[in-house]
Structure 1
Amino acid sequence: MYASVVCVPFHSAVGFTELLSEGDPQHLLERLVPRLRSLATMANDLGVLLAFEPLNRFENCLINTAAQALELVKMVDNDALGIHLDTFHMNIEEKDIAGAIRTAGPAVYHIHTCENDRGIPGTGHIPWKDIANAVQDIGYQRDLVIESFTDQVRSIARSVSVWRKLALSSENLAEDGLHFLKNNFISTH
């Protein structure tokens, strides 16, 4: 058994946050595109989709928005490569999260759902109704995955800057998050 969608920030390393000179992003993309084409060709041969995740500016300096991600997908030009959107990162980078989802459209292969603090969906200020409408508008039929972190696994907590409990327990986060998503996205799935 293998995954049908592989989701990671393929475009560069997490933590790559250098101040780039004017021509640097284009130069980096010119080096990246042939490598992603090769990966996408292999994935296509295996019947697997690749979905890369735009990360916020504090974690990456190359691809931060859905529009930038879509441009990269167009440059690679292989249907095996799509976009993995994450509401946490979108909350930081996008002026209009729902609009960004609509912009990415059918190139969206995976969605992480979490609150603005990486906690339980529905407990912060993410515009979930707008997101649910956008997900429906683009015809997204794949998984909505709750991505959150615990402060109990120190190495992970440190790498994602989680310094406090985001829920009473992991079970509470999963149960409440699932309940919220079912109540707000069930008509789109």
Structure 2
Amino acid sequence: MTKLITISLTCQKFQYGGGMERYLLDIVNGLSKTNITPKIYSAKFDTTLSEYNLINPIKINLSFVPKKWRTSFLSYFSNKYKETSEVSLTTSYTLSDVVICGGNHKGYLQASKKKPSISDRFKIMGEQKSLNQSKYVIAHSALMKKELVELYHISENKIDVIYPPLIQINSHKSMNIEESNSEKN
């Protein structure tokens, strides 16, 4: 008899938002198409999302935790509740089997030519620990992979570049913008 593997995802907020939030919803929809219901560990859930019905939500109350420390506490509690057979993915640099990396703090500081503050250093330590502990890293671009290798010293063999899916709405908006620009010319 084969034991089913549970897939879990850890994120700060399960809701519509920027790129990583949208990406997480795409993962949930993809898993649903293969009849997999992932556990989602999160501090906040938008229960009105259609994707909410496709998950097993595990709410982690972080309201008592200062904002700068929430990722660390989210990591601690999600791992405390995690079953041994779970394969865990994260978009928040928590301790997980797979880190999905859409950005990193060292790369941000380097690009913006800023010196790291004490707060930045704590954030970077958390990212480094998450990347070191993970079994696998998904980088969303070749540049991201390069930064993870050069700035965080993560082995190239541990990282694969998988570009995020393009959403139909975004390509439709892009097409409309191009059409309106060509009409002006």
CA radius of gyration, larger in: 2
TM-score, with structure 1 as normaliser: 0.36
